[in-house]
Structure 1
C-alpha cells in the first residue's frame, strides 16, 4: 500500500487532506487500527475531523504461530523405517 502524504501536525498527529483521505481511507483506517496512529483530516488546510483508534481495541492477531500446539509428533521422524517401500511408477 502506498504511503500517504500526511504531515506531522500538532501533538504528533498526522494531517491528511480530505481528498487524499477519500482516496486512501481504507489504508489509513488500517494504520489507525494496527499502529495506533492518529490523523487530522483537513479541508482547505483547516482541520475538520480527527481519526483515532477505538479505546480498548486490540490490533489484529499475527498470522504467525496461530496453530502452535495443535499438532504432535509421534515416534522418530528422522530415522529410516525397517519396512521396504514399493514405489509405484508411471511405467507399470
Structure 2
C-alpha cells in the first residue's frame, strides 16, 4: 500500500490498527517520492525464525578456508 504523507498524518492511528489485523507494508510518500516505510512488528520468535538458519544447508566448504591463497596480488608486488 502506498499513501501520501498528508493522508498518513490524518489516518495514522487507523492505519496502525489496520496493520495489526492485516499485516502489510505501507510506503509513505511526499510529492510522489517514497520517504518512509511502515511495516508490521514481528515478535521475537517470528524474527528469529526468519533470520537465523534460513541458509542452513546452502553452503558447502570443500577446502581449508584459512590457508593462504597461492595467488599473487598487485599489492604484494
TM-score, structure 2 normalization: 0.54
Distance 1:30 1:39 in 2: 13
The equivalent of 1:52 in structure 2 is 39
- Bigger helix fraction: 2
Q: Give aligned pairs, total.
A: 44
Unmatched segments (≥5 aa) in structure 2: 45-77
1:33 paired to 2:23: no
- Distance apart, 1:35 and its partner CA: 0.9
Per-residue CA deviations over 1:12-63 (Å, capped at 9, x if unaligned) read xx10000000000000111111110210000000000000011128xxxxxx
Higher normalized contact order (CA 8 Å, seq sep 6+, divided by chain length): 2
User: Structure 1 length normalisation: TM-score?
Assistant: 0.45
- Aligned Cα RMSD in Å? 1.3
